[in-house]
A and B are shown apart, each in its own frame.
Chain A
């Protein structure tokens, strides 16, 4: 099975998020980045499928947000090809342009299955993934927790997540694009030594892609930190003081019996 995976970099939410002076966008120069969590799961799911039924895994990424480390890590995990799309600007393209650019690069890979994280926390205009499926002319289903080889050749079985830990089991005829929420297993850990070794042996394939000129459909007027309502009564002091105060509150509320 030939599998293509898209990985994206997103701002690390542990670090402060800085807004541009114009107040309508993230200051990408001052952001720290890490791999989008659901894309990391998409990569893991691809490698699990490769280990199960054989084939190859190609990773496609736009050259944004210190992506090289993520790509070397992907190679160390078992990706066979790494395709990097150079970008002209210093900001990531909008969703329409991103879908078009990624589609141009993925089309040449002739993948049976394309896996992409079903969401990224910095997406304002909804998920990129269904747009990419449309640009590739592939059937799509997202919010998938686990992919298995299908009973019928040329198909996979997927589990779409719904509230209450209920899953809808579906059969998907390939080629198709799946929006992954979580892989069947957690993303594997690779030691730094293996990543370093991979850096020496891995070559990125650069593929230029053109973004179609288009007016943005959504105009951001203002981007700002969510105001805190400060509802919680904060408990201060040493760990012991706080613990005793909390235990007293729980006792007063009749929770400790």
Chain B
């Protein structure tokens, strides 16, 4: 590996390669074209080589084939990643802005004393430095930053890069852990699946999503009435679930469900990148928000800049009237 190479930390979830890995590979391919280096994918866990067919855009695939890496645990992940990065000496390490990336990205940067940038949407090499555009403040601001010290730890925002279609027939190098993996302080117990019995919002064709703009739990009934009138179901952005107003099975976004309904009606949802990640594939997106600059309007097909508490009652009546043939 050379100082111009790009290392990608692959992620798997419940045995399958996560979509973010293919986006990271696309970003790495794009960056490597400007650094002139190669792209190396690092897969942690036993039998990781089975994911190689999906990673053909890489130049090399390194698999750390260890049973102790079968389930995610931060200490062994960080120890192995740091060791591989030090041995390989890449220009940049690409991780997802994910549950795993949020743990190990900043920790890796702190451990190695190298720069970390979160929320990366664009990356390029120029005059020996990396130029990065990153999103912050829930997507309201962008920062153009420069990082000179290598390796740069770049945490990529999902949806920012397309997977690469290249086929480079990468070599797969399977090996044991480069560092001893003893029992750590954090140990895996089990994966907990969402409770059965609630609606599966990923299968619904009409979703009414509520965000902070709903203001109070008492107002959920209004959104629910609209969902019923439309023949759909209610879902929510993360703050509503964090408040305990709806269960986690109704959460849309990075840490919740990814949905692709025919209609996604966003009520008082600002549309932070983490939320967009879970709903941008909807066929028709309608957004109601008081803030004209809310990022949700950038991906919505139709927008209404009004207080949802004013417009929803009128919309319920209009939908009912239309269904009656009015």
Indicate whether A and B interact. Answer: yes
The interface bits of chain A over 83-123 (1 if a CB of B lies within 8 angstroms of the residue's CB, else 0) are 00000000000011001000000000000000000110111
Please report which residues of chain B, range 137-153, place their CB below 8 angstroms from some CB of chain A when the two chains form the complex. Answer: 137-149, 153
Docked CA distance A218–B148 (Å): 8
Given that A125-B118, A217-B147, A221-B146 are contacting pairs, would A143 and B323 also be in contact in the complex, using a CB cutoff of 8 Å?
no
The residue on A at minimum CB distance from B262 is A255
B side interface size, CB within 8 A? 101
Task: Pick the residue among B137, B186, B297 that contacts A231 (CB under 8 A).
Answer: B297
Contact: B73 with A170, CB < 8 Å? yes
Are B194 and A164 closer than 8 Å at their CB atoms?
yes
In the complex, what residues of B have CB within 8 A of residue A226's CB? 135, 139-142, 295
In the complex, chain B residues whose CB is within 8 Å of the CB of A253: 262-263, 284
User: Does residue B46 face the partner (Cβ distance < 8 Å to A)?
Assistant: no
Q: Which of B136, B258, B299, B311 contacts A243 (CB 8 A)?
A: B311
In the complex the two chains form, what is the Cα distance from A141 to B184 in whole Å?
12
Which of A60-68, A174-182, A194-202 forms part of the interface with chain B? A174-182
Minimum C-beta distance from B253 to chain A (A): 9
Residue interface mask B260-301, A partner, CB < 8 A = 1: 001100000010000000000000101100000101011111
* Contact between chains at B319 and A256 (CB < 8 Å): yes
Interface string of A137-150 (1 = CB under 8 A from B): 00111110100000
Q: How far is the CB of A245 from chain B (nearest CB, A)?
A: 9
Given contacts A17-B140, A125-B116, A255-B284, contact A232 B297 (CB under 8 A): yes
Q: Which residues of B contact A131 (CB under 8 A)?
A: 106-107, 109-110
Which residue in B107, B115, B191 is a CB contact (below 8 Å) of A166? Answer: B191
Out of A17, A181, A242, which one reaches B311, CB within 8 Å? A242
Cβ-defined contact, A122 with B74, below 8 A? no
Query: What secondary structure prevails in chain B residues at the interface with A?
Result: mixed
Name A182's contact: one of B192, B242, B301 (CB within 8 Å): B242
Which chain B residues lie closer than 8 Å to A79 at the CB level?
none
Q: How far is the CB of A148 from chain B (nearest CB, A)?
A: 11
Name which residue of chain A comes closest to B132, CB basis. A218
Give A143-162 interface residues, CB cut-off 8 Å to B: 143, 145, 157, 159-162
Q: Which of A122, A228, A248, A255 contacts B206 (CB 8 A)?
A: A255
A171 within 8 A of B: yes
Cα of A157 to Cα of B286 in the assembled complex, Å: 40
Question: Are A222 and B186 interface neighbours, CB within 8 A?
Answer: no
Q: Complex: how many Å from CA A234 to CA B194?
A: 37
Name the CB-closest residue of B to A185: B244
- A228 and B239 contacting across the interface, CB-CB below 8 Å: no
Q: Does chain A have a CB within 8 A of B105?
A: yes
Residue of A nearest to B134 (CB): A124
Asked if A157 meets B189 with Cβ closer than 8 Å, knowing A128-B106, A134-B110, A182-B242, the reply is yes
Nearest A residue to B202, CB-CB: A164
> In the complex, which residues of chain B have a beta carbon less than 8 angstroms from the beta carbon of A30?
none
B310 at the interface (CB under 8 A from A): yes
Interface size on A, residues (CB 8 A): 87
Per the bound structure, the CA–CA distance linking A131 and B287 in Å amounts to 38
Q: How far is A124 from B119 in the complex, measured between Cα atoms in Å?
A: 7
* Residue A29 at the chain B interface, CB threshold 8 Å: no
- Looking at B99, B135, B139, B140, the one whose CB has the most chain A CB atoms below 10 A away is B99
Q: A11-B137, A223-B143 are in contact. Are A243 and B315 (CB under 8 A)?
A: yes
Q: Which A residues are CB-close (under 8 A) to B206?
A: 255
State the Cβ distance, A241 to closest chain B Cβ, in Å: 9
B143 touches A242 (CB 8 A): no
Interface assignment of A220: CB less than 8 Å from any CB of chain B: yes
Instruction: Please give me the residue from chain B that is nearest to A223 by CB atom.
Output: B143
Known contacts: A119-B102, A139-B185, A243-B311. The answer to whether A164 contacts B257 by CB under 8 A is: yes
B184, A126: Cβ atoms under 8 Å?
no
Q: Which residues of A contact B193 (CB under 8 A)?
A: 166
Bound-state CA distance A160–B284 (Å) is: 32
Residues of chain B lying within 8 A (CB to CB) of residue A228: 293, 297-298
A170:B188 contact, CB within 8 angstroms: yes
Q: How far is the CB of A192 from chain B (nearest CB, A)?
A: 18
Which residues does chain A contribute within 8 Å of B145, judged by CB atoms? Answer: 124, 218-221
How far, in whole Å, are A253 and B284 apart by their CA atoms in the complex?
9
Q: A185 CA to B241 CA in the complex, in Å?
A: 10
Chain B residues at the A interface, C-beta cutoff of 8 Å: 13-14, 18, 71-75, 99, 102-107, 109-111, 114-119, 131, 134-149, 153, 155, 184-194, 205-206, 230-231, 239, 241-244, 247-249, 251, 254-258, 262-263, 270, 284, 286-287, 293, 295, 297-306, 310-311, 313-315, 317-319, 321-323
24 A-B contacts, Cβ less than 8 Å apart?
A: A11-B137, A17-B137, A125-B106, A140-B107, A141-B74, A141-B186, A143-B102, A157-B189, A163-B13, A163-B254, A166-B14, A169-B192, A172-B187, A182-B242, A217-B115, A219-B146, A221-B144, A225-B140, A227-B142, A231-B297, A239-B313, A240-B314, A242-B315, A253-B284
- Give me the interface of A with B, judged by CB distance under 8 Å: 11, 13, 17, 26, 37, 41, 95-96, 99, 118-119, 121-131, 133-135, 139-143, 145, 157, 159-173, 176, 179, 181-182, 185-186, 217-235, 239-240, 242-244, 246-251, 253, 255-257
